[in-house]
């Protein structure tokens, strides 16, 4: 399938939309026909039976998704399970909140003691 704005080349689905967008990629892709070297691959059936968006960073602006996203099987980013990372960070945040509360109490106590010392120093200076 081939049209002015999109085309299907084997396992690659290419989206483009005019010369203003084609100017963004200037490096020829060696395995593509010469006429298609400026078109960008939006979806590719990649290795290990994966569906890849923005193959080889052909779209330098990245990928935007508007609206709700559902990932029933979970999500892995940079080799880490997102749910596990969020659970760990939530626990660390709770621990840090406890520490901050303790430090706030200690700081309040120190302020009270400093105020008392200031009052004593002022009283001693007034008695001279």
Asked, for residue 52, whether it belongs to a domain, the answer is yes
State the sign of the Cα–Cα–Cα–Cα dihedral 41, 47, 53, 57.
Answer: negative
Q: Are residues 58 and 80 in the same domain?
A: no
Cβ neighbours of residue 13 closer than 8 Å, sequence gap 6 or more:
6, 7, 41, 42, 43, 44
Asked, for residue 70, whether it belongs to a domain, the answer is no
| pTM score of the predicted model | 0.48
Asked, for residue 27, whether it belongs to a domain, the answer is yes
The two structure tokens encoding residue 11: 């396992």
Domain with 112, as residue range(s), is 76-128
Could you list the pLDDT tens digit for every one of the 128 residues in the chain? 556 667 777 888 877 765 545 444 444 555 555 444 556 788 888 888 989 998 888 888 889 999 999 988 899 989 999 999 999 999 999 999 999 999 999 999 999 999 999 999 999 999 87
Q: Are 10 and 32 in contact (CB under 8 A)?
A: no
Q: Are residues 59 and 1 in the same domain?
A: yes
Asked, for residue 71, whether it belongs to a domain, the answer is no
């Amino acid at each position: 399938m081939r049209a002015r704005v999109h085309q299907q080349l084997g396992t690659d689905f290419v989206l483009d939309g005019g010369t203003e967008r084609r100017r963004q990629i200037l490096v020829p892709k060696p395995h593509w026909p010469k006429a298609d070297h400026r078109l960008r691959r939006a979806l590719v059936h990649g290795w290990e039976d994966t569906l890849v968006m923005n193959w080889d960073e052909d779209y330098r602006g990245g990928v935007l998704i508007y609206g709700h996203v559902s990932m029933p099987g979970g999500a892995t980013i940079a080799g880490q399970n997102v749910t596990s990372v969020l659970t760990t960070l939530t626990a660390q945040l709770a621990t840090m909140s406890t520490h901050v509360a303790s430090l706030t109490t200690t700081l309040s106590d120190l302020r009270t003691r400093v105020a008392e010392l200031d009052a004593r120093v002022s009283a001693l200076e007034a008695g001279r």
